[in-house]
Amino acid sequence: MTLSSNAKAFLSSVTTILATIAILGGLFAFGAAPKISRRDKARAIALDHATRPPRVTVSKVGLTAPFHTFVLPGSTVANQETRIYARAKGYLGEQRVDIGDSVSVRDVLAVIEAPEVQAELDEAKASLSQSQAERQRIDAELGLSKIRFAREQKLSQSQATSQETVDQREAEYKVALAAQKMASATIDARQAQIERLKQQIRFQTIEAPFDGVITERAYDVGALITADSPEDAPGLFRLSEIDRLRVIVEIPQHYATAISVGDEVGIFRVNNRQDRVLASVTRTSRSISPDARTLRVEVQIPNEDHRLLPGMYIEAEFKVNQPSRVLIPSGALITRGSGTKVAVLAQNNTVAYRDVTVLRDQGSSLELSAGLVGDETLIIRPGDDFKEGTVVDPVTTPS
């Protein structure tokens, strides 16, 4: 009975051990299988990568437009502008305009008072009357001397008078004739003096030479005005025509030969590019400045609404015709010690290098002047690992 119980206990222990071993074996198989599967997949991927060509990003080259636009700074100036100086001296008696006033041609701006000039004019007129009266007297004497001379000449033919008397009458006639010429010259001088004084009086009235706006005023009523001294005086007023403006732009030498009179130009303020004025090139200096190496260009624009003012800093957009050029992504350019080049996707997806010349950097793209024709596909950022003829797996960049 005791033996039978021991046998049963032994059999139960063996069964428990076998069950535990089975469970552990199952757990081991369940955990090891995925590891083996992942290892096999990794080996397969590594083998695939080792045998497959390297994948690269490619992009087609583009072409630029048949024209090129560029923006340059400029400044506005009045179409006409002048300082108005006095031609007569005296005191400023009237001032009829101030800064900001619009005036028309021949409008009176100011009046200078100079009473001594009027007094000189009155004196000159009196002298002219005196000279004219003297001329009348001389004319009478000339007529009398002419008659006497003619009479003595007639008497001398019949020996009724002496030759001395004839010569005396002739001298009297010539003296009277010279006196008449002198009197005429004196009258002309008096008349010229009167015209000069009248002109001085007209100069006392300052008039606008053209339509415009008063932008400066230098004197107040009562100020002493000195005539004809622009180097010593600021001038009475500064007058500017702002209904039309001239935009002055300095064109770099690179673009100078591409700019012609009549070319379209867009003018706008720096802080408001949408509000632009379309105009055209009015004139050029037709000469490169030896100091700045620029071509001066003037663009005349209408400005009736006065939205632009003289002296403003503005920008001008020019458009010049040019042949279409190859445009490549900036990431495709390779800079090496031997120069600049690009990697081209050649036949059978092989790598080929081409030397290129960059004309203009546009930020995300580069404009070329030589090296490509425009139908190539480029490898973006190829690095230094690809040799000439390397086979690659191209992937086109999303547009």
| CB atoms inside a 10 Å sphere around CB 331 | 17
Q: Give the predicted TM-score (pTM) of the model.
A: 0.61
pLDDT at 215: 94
pLDDT at 155: 81
Query: Is the Cβ–Cβ distance between 258 and 107 less than 8 Å?
Result: no
Query: Is the Cβ–Cβ distance between 389 and 348 less than 8 Å?
Result: no
pLDDT at 46: 59
Per-block mean pLDDT, blocks of 10 residues, the chain (399 long): 55 67 61 61 62 84 84 94 90 93 95 90 90 89 84 78 80 87 91 91 93 93 82 85 95 90 91 85 93 94 91 92 86 86 89 89 87 88 82 79
